Amino acid sequence: MGYVKYDLKGIEYSRKTLVKLDFPSLFTKEKMPFISSFSTRIKEIKETLRRFKENYDNMFVIGIGGSSLGIQAIYEGIYGKYKISGRRLFFLENIDPFNIHQIFQTAPWDRTVYCVISKSGSTLETVSIFNLVLYELKRRGFRDLHKRFIFISGKNTPFYSVAKELGAPFFEIPEEIGGRFSVLSPVGLVPSEFVNIDPYALVGGGMEILEEISEDREHESVISTCAEYESYIEGRSINVMMPYSDSLRKFSEWWVQLWAESLGKDGKGQTPAPAVGTVDQHSLLQLFMDGPDDKVFQFIKVANFGSDFILPKKTEILDFIASKRISDIIHAEFEGTVEALRLKGRPVTVIELGRITPEVMGALFTLYMIKTVIMAELIGVNPYGQSGVEIGKKIAKRKLGDSV
């Protein structure tokens, strides 16, 4: 345990908020159905993926939103933005024609497996790209389609039927788990196994942080969420997440969907805003410091990046950085930003990770899913479902000729 450390200096909350939470009933499969993903049949995933790992170098993940952001966060969290060697993941997510054209022109079709992910099996973007890929494979003369696809969807969905027709592997997303809460189900675990990120470690980290929080009503994650709620009530309608690590940029994007779609209902909700240090010190920090006091801040620090560089003993410019490690510089920038915001009276929570590992990623995902459910409980909304999104989807389908 101890994957995540908190610094809540200056954070204030009322115990009245804390006692509003019915802790025993919160940590149930009714309130937190994503808990059931911890029972995923990982052995089956590993056995199925074995032949794909032997035969293919690349996996193209075809999915969008909750079916894509989580595995992107895992992949970049562990391997960074640029995986140097070994099997790789690529993401066919947005239906931008230019981007799809570029991928199709450069894709090593004979060395690629396609992992198609959609909870409903009828997501417009995912279905569109899947049809393009299937057509292109047939056009190029591939006949062994059952060896080139993996489907992850709900039971008895259109993708379930396609998988059965092709004879391709199918993994079920449990009915009770919504897409944005599905990262520790086959949605995230199947692609992770393909690139040797151990599913047992991901789920294990999630299980440990779940146990840690559920047994401690005054866990720092609970207190920080209560403080965020009170700030929201006071008018701070924006929640900023700013990791000081490029490897966690996609994690912030995953969290944005989780927080926005889960809480934005009934005229309520807190707008999530992603940023990344140190880059956004040069773009957003001026607003954070001297703009309106309508934000709460979450900073994530990584103690050990796994790699580091030492500057030369004599530098051409800025003598004071001579012989310093690059990690010393990013940590100093991080501490400067946090201290400056606290001096300004802004509410700042700091999370520190020792090093980004599969266990840590599993813990982080679970931590923020729990925080989301707690925040939903406090503001009085159902964190599951997204009726506002469905309206736009129906209009789009009708414009394309769907009569339903």
Cα separation, 10 vs 343, whole angstroms: 10
Cα separation, 101 vs 96, whole angstroms: 9
Map residue 133 onto helix, strand or coil: helix
Which tokens is 88 given?
A: 């790789």
- Pairing assessment for the beta strands 295-302 and 170-172 based on DSSP bridges: unpaired
Which one-letter DSSP state was computed for residue 68?
T
Cα separation, 157 vs 175, whole angstroms: 11
Angle between helices 186-194 and 69-79 (to 10 degrees): 40
Determine if residue 380 is left, alpha or beta; phi over 0 gives left, psi from -120 to 50 gives alpha, anything else beta: left
Catalytic residues: 261, 282, 393
Cα separation, 363 vs 59, whole angstroms: 25
Contacts of 256 (CB under 8 A, 6+ apart): 241, 272, 273, 274
Four-CA torsion 248, 285, 336, 361, nearest 10 degrees: -10
Nearest Cα residue to 152 out of 134, 177, 132? 177
What are the backbone dihedrals phi and psi of residue 271, each rounded to the nearest 5 degrees, phi first? -75, 120
